[in-house]
Chains A and B, each alone.
Chain A
Amino acid sequence: MMPDLGKYTEAVLSSYALSLLLLGLLVVLSLWRGRKVRSEMEQTELRISRDG
């Protein structure tokens, strides 16, 4: 299955690994912060409308 990358195996694999890692990090961090901020906002809204 794995294609033969010859003498450049390291180069190709490491660039794929690093790029996908960075992209993954970006997406995961965005989603994580998005979730956090969203729930924080809902809590704040709730609290404030409850308190008056």
Chain B
Amino acid sequence: MIALLLRDLKLAMRAGGGFGLGLVFFLIVTTLVPFAVGPQSDLLASIAPGVLWLGALLACLLSLDRLLALDWEDGTLDLLATAPLPLEAVVSVKALAHWITTGLPLVLAAPVFGVLLNLPAPGFFWLVASLAVGTPALSVVGTFGAALTVGLKRGGLLLSLLVLPLYVPTLIFGAEVARRGAQGMETGTPLLMLAGITLATIALLPFASAAVLRVNLR
């Protein structure tokens, strides 16, 4: 399992800087928002928490479609399925590797992007906290979606379609934490809900993902 994790991380590094690129996409989305909605800084400040969460979500989403597809195409998944590792472990490790390469850098870099969008000062802590708690759920749910669509050529858009609704609860609570934090309001409840979602998905979804993957391998 550790070998698998290390290999995935190594592959992410090799393939033109997997670590950096999720981040850069996040950067680009936050840069494009002002071009799209205009440069007024009060407007930007009021939508900043939401935009940052949306950016994180899309950065995750965009890297999902290769999460399992490459291993499928070159036959690695077939071979892993016949290996001594249970498929549940395989998908969990894949999700973890995805989080380390995409979610974690976003969490660490979020404050910088907050500056770009004039996020109010108290919001920074809560933005980082909500991302740290919420992004693992994005990776785990994303892995499930990737397992569902792995056999399909051009699964990319279908994958987004399947995964985005599943992301809605995480997005709502995550953005709510960040927004309330930015406005200096109380954030306990949504943060608790967010943590609950993350823990539940981590505990349960890998079984669904493995089952779905097994069906797709047939």
Do chains A and B directly touch (beta carbons under 8 Å) in the complex?
no
Residues in B lying within 8 Å of A, measured CB to CB = none
